[in-house]
Structure 1
Amino acid sequence: MKVHIIGIGLIGGSFALAMRAAFPETEIYGSDASEENLQKAKELKLIDQFSTTKELQDADVVFIAVPVNVATKVVSETLDKVGDQSLVLDAGSTKSGLCKAIANHKNRRNFLAAHPIAGTEFSGPQAAIPDLYRNKTNIICEVEKTAFRLQERALNIFQNLGMRIRYMDPVSHDRHIAYVSHLSHISSFMLGKTVLDKERNERDIFDLAGSGFESTVRLAKSSPAMWSPIFEENKENVLETLNEYINNLTHFKELIENEDFQEVYNEMQRTNHIKSILNGIN
């Protein structure tokens, strides 16, 4: 199998490692906007060769893991060049704009819109890990618009990588992911900013920060180059989630101001239900 990966960072690099483990005969080609990332990927043996656009014609799988603000351009240009047998996958976390933009592309049936719910706060090819996708959910959008034989190839790959599959339309995907992923990152970034603004002594932050703070602010270490375009692409849904979040924070603040600590307790107790939901997932 000839696999071309466009974007050799955490997501693309981890896909390379997972594919090499699941399909040992796979030839892995790579390309990246960063020459440094590309060279590092070769050094780490994430890829076998550098990829050129000419070679896309013979690709069995093209895996696109680029920032969402350039994904539409990259997917469209890739579809221009692939052969009839090529499966093109996109791993971005916004789908509505992309799916709409390529809806009438002559090679639309070569494309499968996917979003593996997997990642860490680290970036770059050196952050790639072999089991990033194992036991993770992979959301697939508009599967009916992909050629059946390519659907089968994609599902075989996802199964061998140990992923769970969930089907969703692009609009619903972007709305739900704003709540469970995008808001989490905003919260983490702004918690980190609040602490940095108020705690001028970095040693105090280091010495006093417990595991709760560390786990909550972990996502603030994520790449702004990746996340700023996501917030831009999913602006309407992000704003809706932020408004609800701000309303909840304001309400909680008012309970404390009014010394209604019984209701503070009740709010937290009701929210404890999240444990049973997440335990069911895990």
Structure 2
Amino acid sequence: MSLGAAVVLAASACAPQPQSTAKAGASDTGNCATSPSLHQQGQLTIATDSPAYAPWFDNNDPSDGKGFESAVAYAVAGKLGFGPDKVKWVVEPFDNSYAPGPKNFDFDINQISATPERAKAVDFSTTYYTANQAVLVLDKSKYAGATSLAALKDARIGVQVATTSYQAALDEIKPSQQPSVFNTTDDEVNALQNGQIDALVTDLPTVFYLANAQVQGGKILGQFNYDHGTPEQFGLLLGKDSGLTACVNQALAALKTDGTLDKLTTTWLSASANAPELKP
């Protein structure tokens, strides 16, 4: 599952600069930058939804290189041998992206969780982001100043049914009362705004969105790691059996090895999103 996020960025970043033209490697279709699998020769076609929200993008303009996913997309493009002037962005609605059939892009980047069910119809790259759990409160809540999970022990916690968040709340927050379980995100939001719960626990990308698009007076209290359950892992989406999948995986591996991916994550999803780590 993926929701957009509307967070005002606190940090500033430069527009995309020309990346190294060193190739990430070759797939069985040949050189990555000249692969016959490209949607259009001579350019890299990248898709995302519209509107494209912060902190993943900036001002609904994926082409400016600002925001985590825009920056990652240009970094991948550089490893594949495409400078910023050779990248073309197209709009692809989230729900359409993982539908079976031909694609009008080379890869889609849109907080798309790589799930076995979706992978039956499309290819996913290796992960470029694993979402932490996060806590959302109201800015007038008595818990708005909490800086640790222990400070939430007596809070009334709300989670969505059949999610990792339920067990994460039990194991990490260890609340003194059982978390309230809701069928939908809307139900959680209503409960928070109506005072039925003190805090809402869900994955960090969803918290980004809720705090700025749905919850009036919402405050992102912070994020915390949870190693159990099924984490939300985002991958670049490609057409099924794409000849570019191996190239994209090699590009991401290079970005992980040289530290670029960690740097972009810190820049856009930690500092910029103002989501501090909640210690035990």
The normalised TM-score by structure 1 is: 0.25
> Greater helix share, 1 or 2?
1
Question: Could you say which structure has the greater relative contact order, defined with CA pairs below 8 angstroms and 6 or more residues apart?
Answer: 2
> Greater strand share, 1 or 2?
2
Rg comparison, structure with higher value: 1
